[in-house]
Chain A
């Protein structure tokens, strides 16, 4: 054995020994992961969503949403209910913007029957639709504060949302579950004084938006917590089927209110679709704030010239929907919500498929939660904004 060979040999041995020592050290220092169940009962999941997060320290290795704790089977229930009964069920899907849930279903049924609501009904529908959007998203703005640790915004949100709920109650009789939409129109006309009251409330809501901008969105701590957290690029957002403000925050200019021609009054007024190029949590929250403001402007314009006339088209007393299939989706407060109604000519639908926005929106959770910290889980979930009823249906 020459001296060179032995030298190489010794080097190799030393290398192997050092590797082995490293490996031993790694085994000794290796930390065990921890599985943290966020939910089903957790203050940050507004309901009973369960996030199974595998943590390394405070960093998420992988996370997975587990839903279905509140499944109420609305798709199946619609099969054993008549058409007028279905509206009272479906406005419990997204319980914060409940009137908006009724509209696409009624539109689908009207499409099958080949009737259209009178113009006055269409305008009032649109007003109530936007009011329920305001009621829904303004609560989000307050809730966002609570998720990030600020206690005051949520009380301000409840305070001002109360006015909107009062308007909805005065018109429909129900604060949360209006059940006001009927095939062929609306149950009733607006009560006297609604227009003036709504104008005043819309002004309050715009003040509320400014207040939230000062209190929360302008706050440097809030910005440092949300900017750059949970970035969803444009293409990923499209692939996961996000919709609503989550998609617009990623820079996709897509709004069903504008891009679709429905028998509603959105195309009669002048408004803007807000988008944001960043796609992070801040963008999503900011878009929603702007949408509340835009909605108040839409309502203001709609109030100016509500056409007069009846609110109910001529429909038979017992509603039988002719055979056929129809798909109608609208831009709900949470995103795209659609109903695929299959009718066999009976009193009730043969089969209904409900596409609710939150279910698709949380499908991105495993992708987006990879590698973030525990507090960011809450930020991201809050900014994705889901409602459990909308996920589990």
Chain B
């Protein structure tokens, strides 16, 4: 996990640390989101208390649920494509772990410092849709098939606005390295004023909104949860899954919500950093080591804020229709993001 450690540790210890760090980075946000938002916030928004029995204020409820799912029978439908059916949840979960690999948590706390991090992130994020598609296809269920196909259609609709929204950030930062983007935001200045650095949510507000809408669609959260659509397709591609495999889908759903919140906070909210001007830092080499501990906490806070917004929207809105999403994506989001890129590019050249 840590580049400082990497210098003087044997390879297998490094790998083990990285795996453990990855598990923590994926499962901790997922668990927190499920408990804090899915169990508690949703309940409170609906004038009820949510789980209260397992542990103080129901805090152990998630473990109880996991235990319940592990006990359940793992059912494979008779007509299903067995191998594919069993792989699908793992493909979805794998994309989450692949995503977290490029997210920087501190000046030295990262899994890989990859030059084309943004490019990699955008490419890998669509792997989960592949998993959803094969889950829908292999279930041999009409509802699942419709859900899988909807997911595939959705991929085309939102992936493009997401890419285009990020391009504005890349132009401003001048790099595709996520670490570089964090440094560019915190070391930057808005027209000569550097009290806050330059978090791109201020200068790239349009891009931020479009990115969050696209994330909402990527995560298949309401109002874009057509692939799941409980009232229409009876949970869509997840219909035939039970027990552990359903749990995998469930974890993947909320872990991806966490990881995308992390990525959005890296791209738009300044990531792990604090404005460098506060401590008179000039570049990434000046940053004190304590940022490796404080950085992840700052990231976690920002992630929770963004996840709160994602979940808040999820619990408040009804869902779109598939063709309405397509129309919305192609006629509204993509033109706006193209204009956004143009304006960003012009301003970049002008100043």
Chain A positions near chain B (C-beta within 8 angstroms): 34, 36, 42-44, 58, 145-152, 155-156, 159, 215-216, 219, 221-222, 224-225, 373-378
Contacts and interface: CB of A to CB of B under 8 A. Distances in A.
B234 interface: yes
Contacts of B226: 375
Interface string B258-291: 0000000000000000000000000000000000
A375 B316 contact: no
Nearest to B321: A375
Nearest to A37: B142
Contact of A43 (B146, B230, B318): B230
A58 B318 contact: no
A221 B46 contact: no
A225 to B, nearest CB: 6
B317 A376 contact: no
Contacts of A150: 222, 316-319
B142 A225 contact: no
B229 A219 contact: no
A149 B222 contact: yes
Contacts of A224: 320-321, 324
B315 interface: yes
B323 interface: yes
A225 B318 contact: yes
Interface in B293-351: 315-324
15 contacts: A36-B143, A42-B234, A146-B231, A148-B319, A149-B222, A149-B223, A150-B316, A155-B48, A221-B318, A221-B319, A225-B318, A225-B319, A373-B322, A373-B323, A375-B322
Contacts of B231: 43-44, 146-149, 378
Contact of A222 (B225, B230, B318): B318
Nearest to A376: B321
A134 B82 CA distance: 50
Interface in B167-221: none
Given A149-B222, A221-B318, A222-B318, 5 more contacts: A145-B318, A149-B225, A149-B318, A374-B146, A376-B321
B338 to A, nearest CB: 23
Contacts, number: 82
A219 B318 CA distance: 8
Contact of B318 (A34, A36, A216, A373): A216
A371 to B, nearest CB: 13
A145 B46 CA distance: 13
A216 B222 CA distance: 14
B233 to A, nearest CB: 8
B45 interface: yes
B9 to A, nearest CB: 47
Given A375-B226, A375-B232, A34 B319 contact: no
B142 A34 contact: yes
A82 B317 CA distance: 50
A215 B143 CA distance: 29
Contacts of B232: 44, 374-375, 377-378
Given A149-B223, A149-B229, A152-B46, A215 B323 contact: no
Nearest to B235: A43
A330 to B, nearest CB: 31
Interface in B224-258: 225-226, 229-234
**Shortest Cβ-Cβ A-B pairs, 10 listed:** A149-B319, A155-B46, A148-B318, A150-B318, A149-B318, A375-B321, A44-B231, A147-B231, A378-B232, A222-B318
Contacts of A374: 146, 232-233
A156 B321 contact: no
A221 B223 contact: yes
A151 B42 contact: yes
A221 B317 contact: yes
B181 to A, nearest CB: 32
B71 interface: no
A215 B316 contact: yes
Contacts of B143: 36
Contacts of B142: 34, 36
B83 interface: no
